[in-house]
Amino acid sequence: MGAGTVSRMRLPRSGARRAALSLVAVFALLLGVLQLAVGAADPDASLAVTLFTIVFWVWAVAGLIAWWRRPGSGTGVLLLVGSVAVFLSGLGNLGLPVATAFGAVFATGIFAVTVHLLHAFPSGRLRGRLSVATVVACYVVALVLQAPLYLLPADAGDVRRAAELVQFSAGLCVMVATAIILVGRLRSADRAHLRVLLPLYLYGTLAVLAIPLSTVVLPPLVADPDLIGLVQLAVIEGIPIVFLLGVLFGGYATTGETEALSAWLGAAESSRAAVAVALSRSLGDESLRVVYWAGERSAFVGADGADAPTLDGDPHRRRQEVHVDSRLIGAIDYDSRIVGDPDEVLRAARVLAVALDRERLTAAVLATNEELLHSRLRLVETADRERTRIARDLHDGLQAQLVLLALEAQQLATVPGVAATTAEAATGLRRRIDDSAAELRRLVHGLLPSALVERGLSAAAEDLVDRLDLNATLDARIDDGDLDPVTARTAYLIVAEALTNAVKHSGADRVHVELSTDRGRLVIVIADDGRGGARTDTGTGLEGLANRVDALGGVLVLDSPAGEGTRVRVELPCES
What is the CATH code of the structural domain delimited by 18-249?
1.20.1070
485-519 pLDDT, tens digit each: 778 888 888 888 888 888 888 888 899 999 998 88
> Which of 65, 57, 54 has its CA nearest to residue 29?
57
Compute the C-alpha angle 363/367/371, nearest 5°: 170
H-helix or E-strand spanning residue 27: helix 15-39
270 contacts 355 by C-beta, under 8 angstroms = yes
Residues near 176 by beta carbon (within 8 Å), at least 6 away in sequence: none
Phi-psi region of 73 (alpha: psi -120 to 50; beta: other; left: phi over 0): beta
User: What is the pLDDT, as a whole number, of residue 258?
Assistant: 44
pLDDT of residue 412 exceeding 70: no
pLDDT(13) > 70: no
Per-residue confidence band for 150, with pLDDT thresholds at 50, 70 and 90: confident
Task: Give the DSSP H/E element, type plus range, for residue 473.
Answer: strand 471-477
73: nearest Cα among 109, 122, 27: 122
24-38, 168-182, 192-206 — which is least confidently predicted? Answer: 192-206
Can you give the three-state secondary structure of 94-106, one letter per residue?
Answer: HCCHHHHHHHHHC
CA separation for the pair 82, 76 (Å, rounded)? 10
Does residue 193 contact residue 251 with C-beta atoms inside 8 Å? yes
Q: What is the pTM of this model?
A: 0.50
**SS3 call for 110:** helix
> Matching CATH topology for 18-249 and 455-573?
no
Confidence of residue 10 (pLDDT cuts 50, 70, 90): very low
pLDDT at 311 (0 to 100): 78
Higher pLDDT, 444 or 562: 562
Q: How wide is the angle at C-alpha 444 spanned by C-alphas 440 and 445, nearest 5°?
A: 115
Q: 455-573 architecture in CATH?
A: 2-Layer Sandwich (3.30)
pLDDT score recorded for residue 9: 40
Amino acid 265: pLDDT: 42
CB distance 330 to 369 below 8 Å: no
Mean pLDDT value of segment 354-368 = 57
Instruction: For residue 300, give the H/E element and its range.
Output: strand 299-301
Residue ranges per domain, the chain?
A: 18-249, 258-362, 371-447, 455-573
Question: How many Cα atoms within 13 Å fall on the side-chain side of residue 1?
Answer: 21
Amino acid at 138: C
Mean pLDDT estimate for the chain? 75
Predicted confidence (pLDDT) at residue 66 exceeds the cutoff of 80:
yes
pLDDT attached to residue 8: 40
Q: Is the pLDDT of residue 393 over 60?
A: no
Residues 6+ apart with CB under 8 A from 193: 250, 251, 337
Over the range 8-46, which residues count as b (16 or more CB within 10 Å of their CB) and which as e? Answer: ebebeebeebeeebeebeeebeebbeebeebbeeeeebe
